[in-house]
A and B are shown apart, each in its own frame.
Chain A
């Protein structure tokens, strides 16, 4: 089996692309990211890696805006993600230039997935070690949430988690998700943070929340706004455990 690791374009005898699977392992080592689609908004929540005292926190974020109505949150290799984000931003403007309309969220997700797939089939290139949650709002206001994987597949989700502890986070999402809960932005934010907190290492100081709502600019919650929600969730969890 080990001999087939080397060239990424080669199948192993039992029909697997090992390099792609190894890339998915790299994703599982990244800090967790959760996305929730509400009835008129999409929420992306991440745990930022703790920064050293001398480091500027500005460059550590895991969520990037691709356009005014689409954002991407990633888990995995940061350097690979930067490349994907840059290409995604170009594609969003390119779409606007050619078609005079903003790109649909699915178009962006499909584009990134196609890009990732190329790197599972061409010579000498390893797959991107990144899974992305692409969330945004369509031209008519409908919120959409997509996930892309190193293999180049993409899926649409009502709520999804990637990165470390994704299985636990997804179970938590499945348990608590209901259409009525995510009808409001606060409900969607609460669901996202609640699942995220099941799998984060550190406390609430390192969480990032981005809200994409129809007909509004992208909102990034400030730490002062996140802390009260987190504290309320913690209180609820404790009282549920009793």
Chain B
């Protein structure tokens, strides 16, 4: 690999992956009804891939940890892996906490849902995990740490000695300590003047003895709350590689925060027109470059991606690069603009490529090539005739996420009927897999590998592929627009995908 060129290194095509079911959390039993609050609304692996977080519509964040990473990490695991077939990553439930609560904005008479829109992991420190979670309005910074359970077993004051007073351990119950509290605990001068302290100290006094048990339990604490900075709904948060700042994006603005300062943020992008009637385009997603601290990308409802350079000016209203698919769609229709809206963008690990998802396609962009996408993948082309129905039931506005594998060789995104699709992105690679979020992912596997609809010269390296047509739709089931797989994440180092089907978290490996 040269210079972050994940896809350019052509040559041997990676063998197609054989996807297998690994785990499921929160599986539904037959006939069980899904509670709205339990529906997963965000999934994110941390940088090491040892932890996974999900957020749900009930404002909860659930953390999972890898079971096989405890003793052998990094190089050691790689070495072992050369001798033995590597075990696929397995996760177990670690802890969960209530991140957001429903709120009411009295000034605007608006209910603020507790639904977690995004989760982003921050830098691990001191063995504690840190993450940002956001709902529509408020971002919170969480620390999750394993705490040893401690018990205090020996104290000076004994409750039995105090007649008529309650327990002293909770000293606010006792009258005598109440008087102390009134003076802020204890008057300074009473000690320095009235007590003649013995030079050797007072032997009777002793420090509380604390016994620490070996059991630990994860404790989540909210460290900072970043609020009152967004007039519209927050759709993205993203950490900067400098480790001290992050951005939050809503429909019209992007704000820059310092992790340690929760009472101010800087507006760096503002697309709000002077007159709201002139509004034609909103921000749909934003992400920092994985290594360049001054570069960020945001996508719009018109299907464009803008790259901005924070060095240029304080308010980055002018982009430094604009990526648009200039190719005119073969048939324009009422839906053309709606389905062009990008629902998610992700930088590839080394930052050269950006993956974007619009309603019908996944597109891969090279940030050095703004003439058009490097490749376009049709996700569910068979739905094209049904766009009218999808518009009627609002499904056309569903926001599907997308993800890239750590090595950048494959991309994945979700669809309806709890299906998700994995595409190979190396030039010439036609690997296309359709999986169902169930214990038997290959049930609906499209058997015929899709072929490029037309070959373009390798210079432009544009590859178009056609997905399953309605005829190859699984077992002939009609698609189900209510079971949509919106959220999924690819493990940063291994071929493992976590995806959410309603309230269940399914994990697959290859």
Q: Do A and B come together as binding partners? A: no
